[in-house]
Amino acid sequence: MEILRTPDERFADLPDFPYEPRYVEVDDLDGGRLRVAYVEEGPEDGETVLLLHGEPSWSFLYRRMIPVLTAAGLRVVVPDLVGFGRSDKPAQQGDLSYARHVEWLRQALFDRLDLREVTLVCQDWGGLLSLRLVGEHPDRFARVVVANTGLPTGDHPMSEAFLAWQRFAATADRFDVGRVVQNGTVTELPAAVVAAYDAPFPDDSYKAAARVFPSLVPTRPDDPAAPANRAAWEGLTRFDKPFLTAFSNGDPITGGGDRVFQELVPGARGMPHTTLAGGGHFLQEDVGPELARVVLDLIASTPAPPAG
């Protein structure tokens, strides 16, 4: 597997993101190793909040939430998915699959970091990957907050907005990551913020994951990822720990997807589900502090059971 690594100098002077990266290595499932970057802030003995970004962003997306959570005494872990941010980037789209990304994330979170009693916050592909892990390894999670995400099986039609995005990612001559994020927010992003989303990708050769991720979303029942996602849903329909939806009101891609979780996940019953006004697809940019406070309220109202 050909692997690219973004030069460190690309990440100099990031606005409001002073956090030093840490790294673990995972098996690339092709005879080599992949370096996975993550940020960890807050007290080591605090409850663990895992923040997972999606496509085509990176941990920088959570910079408005990290300080709110750590100020409350929480340990915050924010990885960069393989192919994004400071993590290694497979150069060939053919080396990237839904199954591989789930396994790379599982290795990083469980085998290397040994995260337990996790409060998961996930958006976009952060949910497509981590909800597989919730379904398959429910014992690792104490609570779940889903925001503008889903776990598609290909058994139901996708929105036209998503299909248009899928076509664009696959065929557009130019794929400007910073502009993609800007188009998915309600607020106007400063130029330095747009540049920070472009930073992981010095040129198009680094964008294999960013380009291919939309086509990896199951849109047909016979998709290669569909059976495993269906099996994960079986696990989610037994998940009875606190499960909260916090979608925004301005996302044409995932709008309405919160109802599926509310209806099917036992832990979602009776929870104070919320819709965050003023947020686009990347609601962390638009209403990040508000989403962080939703997470804090959930943790405060649902104490985790004592270890052991």
Positions marked active-site: 124, 251, 281
What is the helix (H) or strand (E) element at residue 101, kind and residue range?
A: helix 98-106
Q: Is residue 1 within 8 Å of 32, Cβ to Cβ?
A: yes
Whole-number Cα distances in Å, 193 to 14, 52, 251, 293? 8, 19, 20, 23
Beta bridge partners of 36: 24
DSSP 8-state secondary structure symbol assigned to residue 248: E
3-state DSSP assignment of residue 126: helix
Whole-number Cα distances in Å, 303 to 37, 78, 137? 29, 22, 20
Closest CA to 4 of 83, 58, 57: 83
